[in-house]
Structure 1
Amino acid sequence: EWFLQGHFPGNPVMPGVLQVEALAQTGGILAINAMPEGQYDTYFLKIDNCKFKQKVVPGDTMILKLEMTAPIRRGICEMHGSVYVGGKVATEADLVAQ
């Protein structure tokens, strides 16, 4: 992938920002599925407690898991997400979407 060429030359690593983006997009799907029919716009509002626990490298398969951590109130959806590689948590974060 083009984004691995400069991150890092000779030692490619999946950029953390792209892992967070994957969590945010998956969280958007979770939020949409929890909303009343017809409300399809979601916006990523906040990320907290983001931790990168191990490198994600070419050839790894990322499994993303998200769960809502609070009931949706006023359209705000709070979630906890994790990226798993080889059955271990590689990245985790708390996310908020609307």
Structure 2
Amino acid sequence: MLMDIKDIMNTIPHRSPFLLVDRVEEMETGKRILAKKCVTYNEPFFAGHFPQEPVMPGVLIIEALAQAGAICVLSDEANKGKIAFLGGVNKAKFRGKVVPGDVLSLEVEIIKVKGPVGVGKGTAKVDGKVVASGEITFMIG
């Protein structure tokens, strides 16, 4: 493991219940990251989505990818202490459910950076199967 929860909280400002990355397993700073989110039944969103069949909302899977990308970009010395803001999401696709007990694998490749704006290509997997993907535009401020 490259980063634990304390390292992550020292890099991005998110906190419970909105911190959606538990650990970082691989990272090339500013280029690519592989992070994990351990999904438990205790997640607050499961109370309403859905009580009879708990499913992690797709927008939160995209947010988890965005947070992983932010960790990758903000780990760069030039960006220490800054915040990465979500600027847009393109080509988002959802291909499977994420349920309690799943370990969400978050892979983000930074494909473009121009000044304070960049784009990351994100893929979320459970047990090697793609459950969501998309391009995330971010702004560093």
Fold shared, TM-score > 0.5 on shorter chain: yes
Superposed counterparts of 1:4-19, under 5 Å: 4-19=46-61
Structure with greater strand share of residues? 2
CA distance in 1, matches of 2:118, 2:63: 16
RMSD of aligned residue pairs (Cα, Å) = 1.6
Aligned pairs for 1:1-98 (under 5 A) are 1=42, 2-34=44-76, 36=78, 38=80, 40-70=82-112, 72-98=113-139
Distance 2:76 2:109 in 1: 11
Assess if the C-alpha contact under 8 Å between 1:13 and 1:57 holds in 2: yes
Cα 1:38–1:13 change in 2 (3 A) is closer
Q: State the secondary structure of the residue aligned to 1:58.
A: coil
In the TM superposition, residue 9 of structure 1 has moved relative to its aligned partner by: 2.1
Higher RCO (CA 8 Å, separation ≥ 6 residues): 1
C-alpha contact (below 8 Å) 1:84/1:91 kept by paired residues: yes
Paired residues of 1:62 and 1:85 also in contact (CA < 8 A) = yes
Aligned equivalents of 2:89, 2:50: Cα separation in 1: 25
Unaligned runs of 5+ in 1: none
Gaps of 5+ in 2: 1-41
Cα deviation, residue 57, structure 1 = 0.7
TM-score (norm 1): 0.88
